[in-house]
Amino acid sequence: MGNRAIYPGTFDPITNGHIDIVARASRLFGHVIVAVAASTSKNTAFSTDERVDLAQRVLTPYANVEVHRFEGLLANFVRQWDAVAVLRGLRAVSDFEYEFQLAGMNKHLVPEADTIFMPTRENYSYISSSLIREIASLGGEVGEFVHPIVREALAERLGKRAIKK
């Protein structure tokens, strides 16, 4: 099966930038697990089950990719799956300081795994899930940044909210 990598995040919702990282990682690792954080300080638009479901549906083309939820410490999840790597996408230099801290702490908590940083493709470097949610809630077009399934889910969830106001 080869080495296993964990790609953690909130994925509220999964974007084309995330999909690009998963696609590239699926060629480097035998098995990639997208780990959707259930306990997050972020006020999410989609529940954990919905975030998992959306990620699962858009990632079906990748045979060696699975999507699971995780609660609590990422380090415990990494150990539970016997993973060798934690994957993180870097969009800009400003991401680096926080990511470096996270990588250092995770290395301390689970020394058998390493964090691998992947540069985000140029045309996705300015995307974030919250910006996508904001654009969708204000009636803007997000089709360039998310999979059609996610675009539909955003219109359902946030489009209606915007109309109600």
Binding site for ligand COA (CB under 6 A): 8-10, 12, 15, 17-18, 21, 37, 73-75, 89, 91, 102, 105-106, 120, 124, 127-130
First-to-final CA distance of the chain:
51
Nearer to ligand COA, 1 or 41 (CB): 41
Considering the candidates 91, 107, 121, 157, report the single residue annotated as catalytic.
Answer: 91
Considering the candidates 4, 88, 129, 133, report the single residue annotated as catalytic.
Answer: 129
Cis peptide before 148 (omega within 30 of 0): no
Q: Is 91 a catalytic site residue?
A: yes
- The three-class DSSP label of residue 46 is coil
CB of 155 to ligand COA, least distance (A): 18
Q: Is 42 a catalytic site residue?
A: yes
As given in the structure block, the two tokens for residue 48 are: 């954990």
CA 127, CA 162: separation in Å to the nearest integer?
21
Nearer to ligand COA, 44 or 64 (CB): 44
Pair 30, 3: CB distance under 8 Å? yes
CB of 14 to ligand COA, least distance (A): 8
**Residue 47 exposure: Cα atoms within 13 Å on the Cβ side:** 2
Dmax (CA) for the chain in angstroms is 51
Nearer to ligand COA, 106 or 137 (CB): 106
CB of 165 to ligand COA, least distance (A): 21
DSSP 8-state symbol, 138? T
Considering the candidates 42, 130, 160, 161, report the single residue annotated as catalytic.
Answer: 42
Query: Tokens 């493709």 label which residue?
Result: 121
CB of 108 to ligand COA, least distance (A): 8
Nearer to ligand COA, 1 or 136 (CB): 136
Active site residues: 18, 42, 91, 129
